[in-house]
Chain A
Amino acid sequence: QKEVEQNSGPLSVPEGAIASLNCTYSDRGSQSFFWYRQYSGKSPELIMSIYSNGDKEDGRFTAQLNKASQYVSLLIRDSQPSDSATYLCAVNIFTGRRALTFGSGTRLQVQP
């Protein structure tokens, strides 16, 4: 079992719709969770961080965390073609070091 799992996609949504991206993780001791956006040929860009159960909103982005079910999700409201990218879920799995464990990413396509 992979430590962090994401559906590779592509997830295709029409412009203006809500895109929902999901991620599950295996280590119950995980403490911090991050979403990165990566455009093709570019490096990952941090868009959200979440540390406690519930929702965290930042503009059009909402991160949701459920530690009991070991999943974290990212909602993008009013999706725009410029949101088309690969979204990487990263988890800080506690092993005494501050390394991030990444999923393989979900490719999002927003259709104009």
Chain B
Amino acid sequence: ETGVTQSPTHLIKTRGQQVTLRCSSQSGHNTVSWYQQALGQGPQFIFQYYREEENGRGNFPPRFSGLQFPNYSSELNVNALELDDSALYLCASSLEGFNQPQHFGDGTRLSIL
């Protein structure tokens, strides 16, 4: 069984640039959620995708956007990068169902200079 995979592992960008992060869900999982984790904090929910539609969004501005593809993989796009966007970006996948546990990938460490 293949787990959740994310790419790239690390990324360095400058303010104002745009970035795309990618996630492949665990085999059989059709729901993908994205989280941002700042140093010393718990992950913060960005948004969730189910059946290629956004299925809920946290308190993040519209410059954070995403996609889910028919194979359940997903992308997180961030435009107009700001210094505060420096964080670990985590993708989690789960089966359909409200109480299903979410399993995380290894994350992408994004640094904004």
Q: Is the CB of B101 within 8 A of A49?
A: yes
Q: Is the CB of A98 within 8 A of B100?
A: yes
Q: A97-B56, A99-B48 are in contact. Are A31 and B98 (CB under 8 A)?
A: yes
- The residues in B between 59 and 73 inclusive whose CB is less than 8 angstroms from any CB of A are none
In the complex, whether A17 has a CB less than 8 A from a CB of chain B is: no
A interface list, Cβ under 8 A from B? 4, 31-32, 34, 36, 42-46, 49, 51, 88, 90, 92, 94-105
Q: A34-B101, A43-B105, A43-B106 are in contact. Are A99 and B42 (CB under 8 A)?
A: no
Q: Is the CB of A43 within 8 A of B104?
A: yes
Q: A42-B106, A98-B100 are in contact. Are A105 and B56 (CB under 8 A)?
A: no
In the complex, whether B28 has a CB less than 8 A from a CB of chain A is: no
In the complex, whether B99 has a CB less than 8 A from a CB of chain A is: yes
Point out the residues of chain A lying under 8 angstroms from B103, CB to CB.
46
The 8 closest A-B pairs by CB, nearest first: A97-B56, A102-B42, A32-B99, A99-B45, A43-B104, A43-B107, A104-B42, A49-B101
Q: Beyond the given A43-B107, A98-B31, please list 15 additional residue pairs across the A-B interface where CB-CB is below 8 A.
A: A31-B98, A34-B101, A42-B106, A43-B106, A44-B90, A46-B103, A51-B99, A88-B42, A92-B99, A97-B56, A98-B33, A98-B48, A99-B58, A103-B42, A104-B41
- Main SS class of interface, A: loop
Point out the residues of chain A lying under 8 angstroms from B92, CB to CB.
100
Q: Is the CB of B55 within 8 A of A102?
A: no
Q: Is the CB of A44 within 8 A of B98?
A: no
- The residues in B between 36 and 65 inclusive whose CB is less than 8 angstroms from any CB of A are 40-45, 48, 55-56, 58
A93 to B56 CA separation, bound complex (whole angstroms): 12
